[in-house]
A and B are shown apart, each in its own frame.
Chain A
Amino acid sequence: MAADATIEAQRHTVGYWVGLLLLLLGAAFLAGVLHHTSRHYSHVSSVIWQLPVDAAWSIMRMLLAYLLSLAFALIVGIYAAGRPRSARFIIPILDILQSVPIVTFFPAALAVAVNLMGGGTFGMNVAAIFLVFTGMAWNMAFSVYESLRSIPRDIRECAEALGIRGTQRLLTITIPSCVPGLLYNSILSWTAGWFALTACEILTVGNKSTSLPGLGSFIANANNSANPFVMGLVGVAALLSVVVGIEIFIWRPLGVWAQRFRYEMTVSTMSRDSALLRWYQQGRFPRFLSRVLVVSLNRLSNAVFTRVRGSSLRMILPRREAPGYAARAVAVAVRLAGWALAAAVVVGGIYYGWTTIRGHYSPLTGYIPLAIGLSFLRIAVAYLLSLLWTVPLVLWAYRKPRVFRGLSSVSQVLASLPAISLTFLVINIFVIHLHLGHFWGVEIAGEILLMNGVQWYVLFNMLGGLSRLPGDLIEVCDAMGLSRWKKFRSLLAPAIMPSLLTGTVTAFGGGWNTLVFSEAIQYAGHQYNVMGIGWLLDVASGSASPGHYAPPLSSHQQGALLLMGVGALMVFIVVFNRFVWRRLQAWASDRFRIEY
C-alpha cells in the first residue's frame, strides 16, 4: 500500500512543479501588466503580441546554430577519436576555444562580421547564428570524442570480428554510442546558446544600435525601454516559458529515447534516467505529446538499423595497408601545407595585432592587469557564495529523490536565464529601492548577476556527482551508524570532489562570460559601472563609457584596448586552466574516483 501511495504521489510531482512555476510566472506577468496598463496600455499589449514572433525568430537562430554545432561535433569528434595523432592537436585547441569567454568580444566580432557581409539583417543573422554556434559547439565535440573513446573494448572487437565497417559501423555503432553524451551536452549547449543570444541579437556601433527581432534583443532592449521593470519581467517570463517548453517537449522525450543507447556498465540506485523513465511512464499530459516524438524516433532508428548494409565480401579483411610512396608524399605535402597555413595565420595575426595596438594606447590600457585581478576576485566571491548555499542544499536533498529531481530540473531551467535578463531585478532592489549607494549597490547587484552565471554549474555538477554515488556506500555508512558530519567527511565530500571540481571549472568559465554584463550595467538610461575586465571590454567595444578613468576613446584606441584586453584575458585563463584547474582535476579524479 505504502509503495502504491508513493507511486501515486510521484505521478503528479512533475506536473506540480511545472504547474507551480507557470502559475507563479503567470501571476508575476499579470501583476506587471496590470501595474502597467493604467499608463502605457497600448505599448505593452503591442509588445506582447510581438513576443511569440520574437521567440520564433530566436528559436530558429538557436536551432540552426545547434544543427551546425551537431554536425561540427560529430565530424570533429569522430575524426579525432579515430586518429590519435590528430587528436593531440585537436583536443587542446577545442579546450582553449571552450575556456575562452567568447561573449566578451561578441560585439566587436559581430561588427566585423556584419561589415564583411555588407551590413543588413541577413549578414547580422548569419553572424548571430555563427556566434551562437561558438557558444554551443566545443563541449559537444568533446562529448563525441569522449563517448567514442569509452566504447567498451569487447564491443569494438566484436564489430571488427563481424566485419562491420564504413557506413554500417557509423550508423549502428559510432553514432548510437554518442547519443547519451550528446544529449546531455546539447542541453548545456542550449543553455549557453540563450546566453550568447542576448549578446548577439543587438549590435551597437558608435551611437547607432541595430537589433534583430528576437528574445535576446527584447531582453537587451528592455533595460533601456520606458518601463524597464515591466519589460524585463515580460522578457524573463517569455524566455522561461520557451525554455520550460523545450525541456518538457523536446529534452525529456529525447532523454527517454536515449535510454536505449547506454552501455550497461554501472549500476546506480538513483539515476536521473530511471527517474525520467518513470516520469515518462506515469506523467499524463506531456506524455501524450512527447510520446509521438519518442515513437517516431524509435521508428526512425529502427529503420536505419534494419536497412543499413555492409559490403565486406572478402573473407579476410586486410588491416590498413602501409601507404605507398605517392600516398605518403601527398600526406607529407598536406601536412606541410597545414603547418604553413597555421604559421601564416599566426604571423598575420601578430602583424595585425601589432598594427592595431601600436600608437593607440589609452589611459585604460594600464588598468588591464588590475581589472583582471578585480574581476577574478569578484568571480571567486560569487563562487564561494554559491558554495555556501548549494552544498547544504544538495546534502539535504540527496536522499530525497523527488526533491533531488525537482532541483535538477529547476536549476537547469534557471541556468538558461542570462544574467542580463535579471538586471531589472537587481538594480531595482539594490540600487533603487535599498539606496545602497552607487559603489556598494552596483557592486552587490553585479555580484548577484555574476552568481547567476556561476552557481548553477556548481549545483548541476554536484547533483550529477551525487546521483552517481553507489547506493551500497551510503548503506555501509548508515549501517555503521556514522554521524552526519562523519558521513559528510568520509563519504560525501570525497565522492563529490571530482564533479565539484568540474563544476568549479565550468563555473569560473561562466563567470568570465557574465562579467561583460555584470560590470557594466545599463538600466533605464543610466550606466552602473565598476572597474573590471568586463567593463573594460565593454568600453573597448563602445557599449560602456570610460567614466572618470579616461576621456572618450577614439575608435583606434578602442580596437587596441579590445585586442589587448581579450589577449591578456585569454592568456590568463589558459594559463590558469593549465596550471591550477587541470592539476586539481587530475588530483581529484585520481584520488577520489569510485571504481569497482
Chain B
Amino acid sequence: MLMKLDNVSKIYQTDGPPATVLADISLEINSNEFVCIVGPSGSGKSTTLRLINGLMPPSVGRVYFKDKPMAGINLQCAMVFQNFALLPWLTVTQNITLGLEARNIPRADAMKKAALYIDKVGLDGFEGAYPRELSGGMKQRVGLARALAIEPELLLMDEPFSALDPLTSINLREELLDIWADPNLAVSTVVMVTHNIEEAVELADRVVLVAGRPGRIVADIEIAIPRPRNKNADAFTRYVDSVFSLMAEC
C-alpha cells in the first residue's frame, strides 16, 4: 500500500460558519494502481487530491505515505493541473526542469531528463518555445512532462483533460496509458480526478465516487475489464451506467 487516508475530514474556516468540504474519507491507494476519483462539481474531489499531495493538511484524521504519517508537502508526488499551471516566462525546457532544479539535480542530468520526457510526450522541436505559443493539448503535454520528469512515485492529475477539445483529449488519454504501462518509465501509480465518468471507466483500475455536501466516498468500484478497453463493449457501458445511476442517487 502506497497511500492511505484515514478518516480524513476537511473543514474550511471562512468568515461565516466553518464549511465542511470532506467528511470521513478513508481511501487506500496501492502501488501500480490507476485510481480515478469522480463526482459532481463541488464534492471535494480536488480537495482530496490536495490532501494526498500534502498541499493542505487535513482538519481531522491522518494521511499516510508508505505507512508514515505525512506532515507536509510530499515531493514524491507530482501534480498535473487542469489549466496547465505553466509559467509563461519560461520555455518548455525551463518549465520541465523547474522541479528538477528544486531537487538540486545537476544541470546536465536535468537537461537529459527533460529531453527524454519531451520526447516521450511528443514535444520534440518545441524545447525553446514559450507556453503562449503552444496549443492547449501541447501545453498539457508540457504539464505532463514536467510531472514525469521528477519521476514521482505517485502521479496526481486534477481534471487534466477537461480544458482540452475532445479529439486532443482522446489522443492524450491513450498516450497517458502508454506511458503508465511503459516498464522503462518510473511512474506506476496514478490518481486522477475527473468529472467525466466515461474517461474514468476507460482509464482506471478503480473508480472512487465522491458525492454529497460534505463530500463522502459513496462507492469504490473495481473496473474488471482488460486493456485496451472498447468503449462500445457491453461491459464498458454497464460500468458507465452503474456509476451514473449511483451519482444520480446522491
Contacts and interface: CB of A to CB of B under 8 A. Distances in A.
B40 interface: no
Interface string A483-503: 000000000000000000000
Contacts of B70: 316
Nearest to B139: A264
A63 to B, nearest CB: 25
B89 A301 contact: yes
A302 B79 CA distance: 25
B227 to A, nearest CB: 28
A316 B54 contact: yes
A-side interface size class? 35 or more
Interface stretch (B13-21, B94-102, B180-188): B94-102
Interface in B56-82: 57, 65, 70-79, 81-82
Given A154-B82, A162-B150, A316-B71, A310 B88 contact: no
B101 A264 contact: no
Contacts of B107: 306
B interface bracket (residues with beta carbon within 8 Å of A): 35 or more
Interface stretch (A165-173, A215-223, A506-514): A165-173
Highest count of chain A CB atoms <10 Å: which of B65, B75, B132: B75
Contacts of A176: 87, 89
Contacts of A160: 55, 73
B98 A164 contact: yes
Nearest to B71: A318
Given A163-B102, A315-B76, A152 B85 contact: yes
A262 to B, nearest CB: 6
A172 B98 contact: yes
B50 interface: yes
Nearest to A164: B102
A85 B71 CA distance: 24
A161 B79 contact: yes
B53 A161 contact: yes
B32 interface: no
* Residue with the highest number of chain A CB atoms closer than 10 Å, among B75, B78, B101, B131: B101
Contact of A316 (B74, B98, B103): B74
A175 to B, nearest CB: 10
B130 interface: yes
B224 interface: no
Given A310-B103, A315-B76, A319-B72, A264 B98 contact: no
A317 interface: yes
A313 B57 contact: no
B196 interface: no
A534 to B, nearest CB: 43
A153 to B, nearest CB: 9
Contacts of B78: 161-162
A163 B89 contact: no
A260 B98 contact: no
B72 A164 contact: no
Residue from A158, A160, A173, A305 whose CB has the most chain B CB atoms within 10 Å: A158
Interface string B175-207: 000000000000000000000000000000000
B85 A260 contact: no
Interface in A306-329: 306, 308-319
Contact of B101 (A158, A168, A261, A302): A168
Given A154-B81, A157-B79, A162 B71 contact: no
Contacts of A306: 94, 97, 107
Interface in A136-171: 152, 154-155, 157-158, 160-165, 168
A592 to B, nearest CB: 24
Among B73, B81, B150, which residue has the most Cβ atoms of chain A within 10 A? B73
A587 interface: no
Nearest to A306: B94
B245 interface: no
A314 B104 CA distance: 11
Contacts of B79: 157-158, 161
B97 to A, nearest CB: 8
A158 B89 contact: no
Nearest to A179: B89
B143 to A, nearest CB: 9
Contacts of A154: 81-85
Contacts of A262: 88
Given A157-B55, A263-B88, A163 B72 contact: no
Contact of B90 (A305, A311, A316): A305
B133 to A, nearest CB: 11
B71 A319 contact: yes
B101 A310 contact: yes
A168 B102 contact: yes
B148 to A, nearest CB: 13
B101 A319 contact: no
A160 B81 CA distance: 13
A162 B90 CA distance: 15
B75 A317 contact: yes
Interface string A248-277: 000000000000111110000000000000
B106 to A, nearest CB: 10
A264 B72 contact: no
A525 B188 CA distance: 86
Given A161-B77, A314-B75, 8 more contacts: A160-B55, A161-B79, A162-B99, A162-B102, A260-B89, A310-B104, A315-B74, A317-B73
Interface of B: 50, 53-55, 57, 65, 70-79, 81-85, 87-90, 94, 97-99, 101-104, 107, 130-132, 146, 150
24 contacts: A154-B81, A157-B50, A158-B81, A160-B55, A160-B73, A161-B78, A163-B75, A163-B99, A164-B98, A172-B98, A173-B87, A261-B88, A264-B132, A308-B101, A309-B101, A310-B103, A312-B75, A312-B102, A312-B104, A313-B103, A313-B104, A315-B74, A319-B71, A319-B73
